[in-house]
């Protein structure tokens, strides 16, 4: 009898984590590897947030267990944020916090999916969505989007994918990995479809809500308040506040039954996320966002730098992302090329492996996000690093025949 559970046979490890780990291993061997694989801001957590955490640790009195969904003051602050944005009347009882955005998303799916329940996921998608669905015994239903439509799912594509078994649609805008930001009209069209199918719930992953460079952030609730009862909105402090390692995510919904179910799972899993992280996140959400303009300005400059460099590499092309901090690069012209060692590159996975070995640059193949042949580049790093990485990529591609 095998020690490992059968359910693991259907679960794939995170490709982004694996590639970043390989890049780290190569660095430790003394190789000069640049990783553009991880979705992690290179900015430091703003000083006032770090200072609040240090103050709390020095005091010592508040570093105790908290309620499972998080401290009341933090939940109130999260509810207030959503109320201001959407003109809603959420209370702290509508909020739960968890171990990063990933932990919160998993808890929601685990609390709601039965065997055979379907979850619609537009591709390209964040690598963990389908794996989380499968871990919760649901069935991912993938909609392939088109680069010609800027990787946005259309209302028609959504309607074709809906079945009596559909329980959720996972909606992510700005998108990881493409940086796509849905237009207001596209959201309205999708909302009209969803209103026809009241059994479909909406899981809105808004973790990049503050990182929009063209236009303004909107989600489905922004354009149609009638969807409120079916919406669960999720976010985290990781991307906006450069707090990836603090592991604080949150969800808000008017469905109290769901909140209680999520909390029941978390109570047996990890009780709650770090107390220090909760108080630091409270400081983040209730202090002025003065740092955000600097962050956004830096990301936008880096985005434009990357696009300008890609425009000069004949084998690569990319759409201009309007949010997040990724470029999803079309590498179809590289397919079929031969390396100096005589290997034919037939997939985006092989291309990324080649660029890592030959160019010493770690990028994530589009296969990991459900749509090939592409590769994702994270521009959440210094200009100098981006320039050097793209020099290496350009040189490695020049060696192909």
| pLDDT of res. 62 | 85
Please tell me the pTM assigned to this model: 0.95
pLDDT of amino acid 221: 98
Q: What is the pLDDT of residue 209?
A: 97
Amino acid 257: pLDDT: 97
pLDDT (0 to 100) of residue 235: 98
- Using left for φ > 0, alpha for ψ between -120 and 50, and beta otherwise, residue 367 falls in alpha
Residues 6 or more apart whose CB falls under 8 angstroms from that of 84 comprise none
Q: Which pLDDT value is given to residue 220?
A: 98
Q: So what's the pLDDT on residue 301?
A: 97
pLDDT single digits (tens) 257-312: 999 999 999 999 999 999 999 999 999 999 999 999 999 999 999 999 999 999 99
Q: Running DSSP on this structure, what letter comes out for residue 177?
A: T
pLDDT digits (tens, 9 = 90+) for 23-42: 888 888 888 999 999 889 99
- Determine the angle formed by the axes of helices 275-286 and 72-86, rounding to 10 degrees: 30
Q: Which residue has tokens 């909406």? A: 202
Collect all residues with Cβ–Cβ distance below 8 Å to 74 and sequence separation of at least 6.
97, 278, 279, 281, 282, 285
Please tell me the predicted confidence (pLDDT) of residue 24: 81
DSSP type of residue 151: T
Strand partners, 120: 141, 169
| Structure confidence at residue 5 (pLDDT) | 85
| 133, 121 contact by CB (below 8 A) | yes
Is residue 129 within 8 A of residue 140, CB to CB? The reply is yes
- Residue numbers in the chain where pLDDT is lower than 70: none
């Amino acid at each position: 009898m095998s020690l490992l559970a059968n359910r693991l046979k259907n679960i794939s490890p995170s490709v982004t984590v694996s590639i970043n780990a390989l890049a780290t291993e190569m660095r430790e061997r003394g190789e000069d590897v640049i990783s553009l694989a991880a979705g992690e801001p290179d900015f430091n957590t703003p000083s006032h947030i770090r200072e609040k955490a240090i103050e709390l640790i020095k005091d010592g009195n508040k570093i105790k267990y908290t309620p499972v969904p998080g401290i009341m003051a933090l939940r109130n602050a999260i509810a207030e944020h959503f109320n201001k944005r959407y003109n809603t009347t959420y209370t702290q009882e509508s909020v739960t916090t968890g171990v990063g955005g990933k932990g919160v998303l998993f808890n929601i799916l685990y609390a709601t999916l039965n065997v055979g329940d379907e979850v619609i996921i537009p591709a390209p998608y964040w690598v963990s969505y389908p794996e989380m669905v499968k871990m919760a015994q649901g069935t991912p239903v993938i909609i392939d989007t088109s680069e010609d439509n800027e990787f946005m799912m259309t209302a028609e594509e959504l309607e074709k994918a809906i079945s009596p078994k559909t329980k959720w649609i996972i909606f992510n805008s700005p998108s990881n990995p493409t940086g796509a930001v849905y237009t207001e009209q596209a959201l309205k069209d999708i909302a009209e479809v969803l209103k026809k199918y009241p059994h479909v719930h909406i899981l809105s992953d808004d973790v990049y809500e503050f990182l929009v460079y063209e236009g303004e952030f909107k989600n489905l609730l922004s354009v149609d308040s009638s969807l409120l009862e079916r919406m669960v909105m999720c976010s985290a402090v990781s991307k906006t506040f450069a707090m990836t390692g603090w592991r604080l995510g949150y969800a808000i919904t008017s469905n109290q039954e769901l909140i209680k179910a999520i909390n029941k799972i978390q109570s047996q899993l990890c009780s709650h996320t770090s107390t220090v992280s909760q108080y630091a996140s409270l400081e983040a959400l209730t202090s002025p966002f003065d740092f955000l303009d600097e962050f956004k300005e830096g990301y936008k400059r880096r985005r434009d730098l990357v696009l300008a460099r890609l425009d000069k590499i004949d084998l690569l092309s990319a759409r201009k992302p309007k949010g997040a901090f990724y470029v999803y690069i079309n590498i179809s012209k590289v397919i079929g090329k031969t390396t100096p060692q005589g290997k034919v590159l037939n997939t985006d996975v092989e291309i990324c492996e080649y660029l890592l070995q030959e160019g010493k640059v770690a990028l994530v193949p589009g296969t990991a996000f459900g749509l090939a042949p592409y590769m994702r580049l994270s521009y959440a790093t210094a200009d100098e690093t981006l320039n050097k990485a793209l020099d290496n990529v350009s040189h490695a591609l020049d060696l192909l025949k």
